[in-house]
């Protein structure tokens, strides 16, 4: 320091420099938290996705019309005018129903709703992505349908063991639970992309191009209005997130159609298929009895052991607990699936394969999905022994 410079001057200069540095960091962070549609489009990799990958709803109707073993029907039309399909395998076994599930439980006789133990085959319900960008499940389910038709997946690999397991069950498959959101998802896969790409395409932006992000994006629902920019693929064309519809007064067609199938079919096991950044995870279902939660934990243990055999990553089994946290869990589509049908219901999260998180390939993502389906079918078939 110059001898003619006072100590106070040095302190002032230091404060100014720190302020400029922090200000620059703030501006940089603010820029990183914004993305225009043009920028998001430019970030999509120039690549050829594998032939077995299904990241769009185009062509699904034609594919389902060609089924020879399974049956496909439209169960609803989205706000954007897109069909929502149900594909089934195995005959429905007739069971007498004297009451809805809620009333049967109130009467302390679940079989008044449906005597599931009388069925010869377990009923397994696969609910494809209600968040449109989570196409890992769409890919998995379309491959499962191909397996049930031909014994091979879309890679041409023999999957006759999975076909045989599926043939011993009644399968209910909704491949795309939110076709509007999936149609809006232009990358067709987030594998090899970054967290902000997930934030843009998944949750969308506000009108000033700020990324909505989670959980803030769930604090305005429906996601419509002058403050909304790009509507993320969480939502249908009316801004409804089917995972968090108003189930007692529905706002969109997707959740009611899914729940109608559950109510009529009384599945033994039901999964809502999602995707996230970390390794594969079966989540603890909220607002379900401890016995159901424990059943999900047992399934998770089996599934994770199977992933270990394939050298694939996974999370830890969910803990069984009551809803006693300070911040209550969401009563979401997974919760309602149990309360309307008595199914062991759970949410599955598959990795997207983002850079810097759980970096899996497209091949590994499909194997993660198909291994889950195998674990689910074995889990229910074992109960019939």
Quote the CA–CA distance of 32 and 225 in Å, as a whole number.
24
Other beta carbons less than 10 A from residue 77's beta carbon: 14
Lookup: tokens for 375: 């674990």
User: How many residues in the chain?
Assistant: 385
Q: pLDDT for 330-352, tens place per residue?
A: 999 999 999 999 999 999 999 99
Q: Residue 153: which pLDDT band, with cuts at 50, 70 and 90?
A: very high
Q: pLDDT for 214-230, tens place per residue?
A: 899 999 999 999 999 99
Average pLDDT for 222-247: 97
Strands 71-77 and 83-89, by their bridges, are: antiparallel
Quote the CA–CA distance of 217 and 168 in Å, as a whole number.
41
Q: Residue 325: which pLDDT band, with cuts at 50, 70 and 90?
A: confident
Give backbone dihedrals phi and psi of 349, rounded to 5 degrees, phi first: -115, 120
Cβ atoms of 374 and 163 closer than 8 Å: no
> Rounded mean pLDDT of the chain?
93
Strands of 269-276's sheet in order across: 71-77, 83-89, 170-174, 123-127, 269-276, 344-351, 281-282
Strands 204-206 and 228-231, by their bridges, are: antiparallel
Q: What is the pLDDT of residue 24?
A: 53
Cβ atoms of 319 and 284 closer than 8 Å: yes
Quote the CA–CA distance of 385 and 372 in Å, as a whole number.
21
Give backbone dihedrals phi and psi of 204, rounded to 5 degrees, phi first: 90, -165
What dihedral do alpha carbons 143, 144, 150, 156 form, nearest 10°? 40
- What is the percent of the chain where pLDDT is above 90? 89
Exposed (0-12), middle (13-18) or buried (19+): which is 15, by Cβ within 10 Å?
exposed
Residues contacting 204, CB < 8 A, separation 6+? 211, 212, 217, 223, 228, 229, 230, 231, 232, 233, 234, 235
Q: Residue 31: which pLDDT band, with cuts at 50, 70 and 90?
A: low
Strand ranges for 199-311 from DSSP E:
204-206, 228-231, 269-276, 281-282
Q: Residue 30: which pLDDT band, with cuts at 50, 70 and 90?
A: low
Smallest Cα–Cα separation from 200: which of 187, 125, 104, 222? 187
Say if residue 370's pLDDT is above 80. yes
- What is the percent of the chain where pLDDT is above 70? 92
Strands 71-77 and 344-351, by their bridges, are: unpaired
Quote the CA–CA distance of 338 and 291 in Å, as a whole number.
12
Residues contacting 72, CB < 8 A, separation 6+? 64, 65, 85, 86, 87, 88
Distance of alpha carbon 359 from the chain centroid: 18
Q: Residue 32: which pLDDT band, with cuts at 50, 70 and 90?
A: confident
Cβ atoms of 346 and 283 closer than 8 Å: yes
Average pLDDT for 105-109: 97
Greatest distance between any 2 Cα atoms in the chain = 97
Quote the CA–CA distance of 275 and 155 in Å, as a whole number.
22
Domains and CATH numbers, the chain: 52-202+248-383 (3.40.630.10)
Q: What is the pLDDT of residue 26?
A: 45
Q: Residue 324: which pLDDT band, with cuts at 50, 70 and 90?
A: confident
Lookup: tokens for 243: 């995972």
Average pLDDT for 141-156: 98
Q: What is the pLDDT of residue 261?
A: 98
CA 260, 263, 267 angle in degrees (round to 5)?
115
């Amino acid at each position: 320091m110059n001898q003619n410079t006072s100590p106070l001057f040095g302190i002032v200069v230091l404060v100014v420099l720190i302020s400029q540095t922090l200000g620059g960091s703030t501006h940089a962070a603010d820029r990183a938290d914004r993305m225009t549609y043009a920028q998001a489009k430019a970030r999509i990799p120039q690549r050829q996705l594998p032939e077995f990958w299904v990241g769009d709803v185009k062509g699904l109707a034609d594919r389902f019309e060609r089924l020879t073993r399974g049956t496909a029907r439209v169960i609803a039309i989205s706000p954007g005018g897109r069909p929502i399909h149900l594909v089934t395998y195995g005959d429905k076994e007739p069971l007498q129903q004297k009451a809805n599930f809620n009333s049967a439980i109130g009467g302390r006789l679940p079989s008044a709703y449906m005597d599931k133990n009388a069925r010869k085959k377990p009923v397994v319900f696969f609910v494809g992505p209600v968040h449109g960008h989570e196409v890992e499940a769409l890919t998995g389910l379309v491959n499962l349908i191909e397996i049930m038709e031909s014994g091979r997946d879309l890679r041409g690999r023999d999957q006759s063991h999975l076909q045989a397991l599926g043939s011993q069950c009644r399968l209910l498959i909704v491949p795309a639970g939110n076709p509007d959101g999936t149609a809006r998802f232009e990358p067709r896969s987030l594998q090899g992309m970054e967290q902000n790409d997930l934030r843009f395409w998944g949750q969308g932006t506000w009108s000033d191009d700020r990324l909505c992000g989670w959980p803030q994006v769930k604090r305005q629902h429906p996601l419509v209005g002058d403050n909304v920019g790009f509507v993320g693929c969480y939502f249908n064309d009316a801004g409804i997130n089917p995972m968090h519809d108003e189930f007692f007064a529905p706002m969109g067609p997707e959740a009611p159609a899914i729940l109608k199938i559950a109510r009529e079919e009384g599945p033994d096991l039901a999964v809502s298929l999602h995707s996230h950044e970390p390794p594969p995870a079966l989540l603890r279902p909220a607002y379900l009895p401890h016995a159901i939660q424990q059943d999900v934990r047992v399934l998770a243990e089996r599934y994770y052991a199977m992933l270990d055999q394939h050298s694939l990553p996974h999370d830890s089994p969910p803990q069984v607990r009551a809803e006693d946290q300070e911040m209550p869990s969401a009563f979401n589509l997974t919760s309602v699936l149990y309360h309307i049908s008595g199914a062991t219901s759970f949410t599955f999260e598959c990795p997207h394969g983002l850079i810097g998180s759980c970096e899996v390939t497209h091949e590994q993502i499909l194997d993660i999905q198909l291994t889950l389906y195998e674990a689910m079918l074995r889990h229910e078939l074992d109960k019939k022994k």
